[in-house]
Chain A
Amino acid sequence: MKRNDDLGLLAHPDHFHDAIQIQDFQPERLRQFLRKMILIRLCEEKIGDKIAAKKIACPCHLAIGQEAVAVGLAENLRRDDHIFGTHRSHAQFLSVGGDPYRLFAEVLGRVDGASKGMGGSMHLFDREVGFTGSVPIVGGTVPLAVGAALSAKVQKKDFLGVCFFGDGATEEGVFHESMNLASALKLPVIFVCENNLFSSHLHIDLRQPSNSVARYADAHRINNIVLDGNDVVEVAKKTAPLIDEARANQTPVFIEAVTYRWRGHVGPSEDLDVGVKRGDDLPRWKKRDPIQRLVDGMTARSMLTDEDFRSLKEEIRKEVDETWDRAELSDFPDHSKLYDMVYAKERGDA
């Protein structure tokens, strides 16, 4: 498990631009990866456009550029797993099969939303697909995933607690408490850090003595891996044995997926003016595009033509456009909903 304490070339914007190695993955599976990543990107772009057009008011944190982490990982998760997200969870929600219509309706505050219009972008829910909930309190869901894993262990079931979080969350005390607890009690938790090198506006180099957070997993004796989060095949392939191990042996594992977000912390802008070095780096990071690299990899193996890619994108774009238009027609929650959901069996006081 010991390694160099920093990310090296993985954090360097001029590397990992080439086609990904598609290894022994079958074309159909790769096409599914591609479809999901395009769907996520186009949904996020749609949301970005609608924020700019003032159709959406709630804070939305877009994951454009980070699609491969959630999509690769979703390959190894099940619907009975308990997956917890963050403020930036649209991609995670969609990657496990969350409905784009319910995502759109939710960011619009409509009753057909994933949280019935009560949560907005930062509070998504769909237990049917394994997504137990997302919240914007940084690190807030990390101990919740540990608790879900405790439930699996007590009930002698083999579902997992899965928490996605960013590099910023590793600066929270509860993150360390949670890692220690999961390790001490031997609980099947998948800790997934989407390390996009930024917490809000501030680069990790200005926040931590090392840019790799997997060192914390070493400290808590949790089996871990650092990988290229913009390579969907690598994410799917390399996390599979760890996740299998967590399921079979009821142990925690830690995944650090290095990536980069193309948009700013919140909203559609690129935040070129707020982050140290971000203006220089962003165009270079865009060359580590998880979608284009998969397309290049498939093209090199004659599994995809330019025309295939173009038509797939157009087909999905049409779907996304129609879905958005439909979501805008969904109703707002009735006034009574303000009071109805405070408690399970009783109305809240007016």
Chain B
Amino acid sequence: MSKVNYGEAIRFGFEFLLENHSDVVLLGQGLWSPWYVGNSMTDLDTKFGKNRVIDTPVSESACTGAAVGASLAGLKAVVIHPRMDFMVLATDPIVNQAAKWSHMLGGQAHPAVTIRAIINRGGEQGAQHSQALHAWYAHIPGLRVVMPSTVQDARDLLIASVLSSDPVLYIDDRWLYDLEDELEEPRDFELTNIRPQVLESGTDITIVGSSYSTQLALKARRLMATKNLSAEVIDLRVLNPLKLQTVECSVLKTGRLLVVDGGWRSCGMGGEILASITERLPLEAWKARPQRVTLPCTPAPTSKPLEELYYPTAERVAEVGISLCKGIALSRESKREIAEITL
């Protein structure tokens, strides 16, 4: 079986959907241009027709609203935002409309729309070409949020999202596009059955990630193994609604929890996972204080040295993981606290 990369896997997902589900349409900016969406939609317009794969005007709000409306009127529409930062302009159709219609209309209307947002950051692109806003959207009841971290999930979570009866925000990250793997045969998937997944098992610590952060966790696991530490890596896959039984069971076993998240610390997914697991487990289950590695609470910088400081690395994740396992308090605040106490 030949290997495909993450971007190609997304494309295979779209191809499967367009071939097998005649009610699927795609719309958004740049769908006829590799410049916007990389290799994730190449030639879909020529293969399936420009009436089903629609390149649109620069109107994030109207195009997203149109996808919601089309989904209320018989289609499974997918609207693509080649850069998540610009999707902020479409917040009303996502947050006020798609996420609310089922509940506020008494369960009679289900906009089965998929909103695909691409995180595209690094490379000195700066504060408005960098954002990973998944936690914002995962806050909203009624809006399912998925973030694939593997090649297989890039395709399969897309299929599950588009076939879901609910609105789904599917978020992929350009930093994952070169990841390669073999793919199983595609089929239909039911999103409500998809749970967080243990990608690598271990006994000393549970590291939870999503999207690119899961790949950082996997690398950190390898680094920790050189110190004879065994980390269990769990990939969240679905950020809303959260189903944390897998994480709960894992932490019961390891007694340690580290969450890696590509968003900001404040009110982020990292905090949400820590709080939820802390609430569920008895005090005696914990061998160390749970920790998170996130972005600092600043906009993304452009200058290279600042950018290197800004984004979490596998080394940083491993360092915190090791400190948790060895019982060493590493954070600057903790060091200061300890210094103050000993004084």
Contacts and interface: CB of A to CB of B under 8 A. Distances in A.
Interface in A106-138: 113-119, 123, 125, 127, 132-133, 135, 137
A154 B101 CA distance: 23
A144 B74 contact: no
Contacts of B109: 125, 127, 132-133
A184 B105 contact: no
B73 A147 contact: yes
A341 B75 contact: no
Highest count of chain A CB atoms <10 Å: which of B66, B74, B109: B66
B115 interface: no
Nearest to A132: B72
Contacts, number: 175
A178 B65 contact: yes
Contacts of B108: 115-116, 125, 127
A145 B103 CA distance: 20
A206 B29 CA distance: 36
Given A154-B25, A343-B144, A348 B241 contact: yes
A140 B104 CA distance: 15
Interface string A139-163: 0111111111111111100010100
Given A147-B71, A180-B57, A348-B141, A341 B106 contact: yes
Contact of A135 (B23, B25, B96): B96
A149 B73 CA distance: 8
Interface stretch (B12-20, B48-56, B122-130, B284-292): B48-56
B69 A151 contact: yes
Nearest to A150: B70
Nearest to A144: B69
A154 B52 contact: yes
A340 interface: yes
A185 interface: yes
A147 B66 contact: yes
Contacts of B101: 133
B64 interface: yes
A219 interface: no
A141 B92 CA distance: 10
Given A143-B64, A147-B73, A342 B103 contact: yes
A177 B166 contact: no
Interface in B20-56: 23, 25, 27, 51-52, 54, 56
B323 interface: no
Contact of B66 (A127, A146, A155, A344): A146
B61 A173 contact: yes
Contacts of B312: none
Contacts of A117: 106
B110 to A, nearest CB: 5
B93 interface: yes
A174 B96 CA distance: 14
Nearest to A185: B54
Contact of A151 (B70, B92, B93): B70
Highest count of chain B CB atoms <10 Å: which of A173, A180, A185, A341: A341
Interface string B63-87: 1111111111111010000000000
A144 B66 contact: yes
A174 B59 CA distance: 8
Highest count of chain B CB atoms <10 Å: which of A113, A147, A181: A147
A140 B75 contact: no
11 contacts: A143-B93, A147-B71, A148-B72, A150-B69, A151-B77, A159-B73, A173-B61, A177-B63, A181-B63, A184-B57, A344-B110
Interface of A: 82, 84, 113-119, 123, 125, 127, 132-133, 135, 137, 140-155, 159, 161, 173-174, 177-178, 180-181, 184-185, 340-346, 348-349
Interface of B: 23, 25, 27, 51-52, 54, 56-57, 59, 61-75, 77, 92-93, 96-97, 101-110, 112, 141-142, 144, 164-166, 192, 241-242
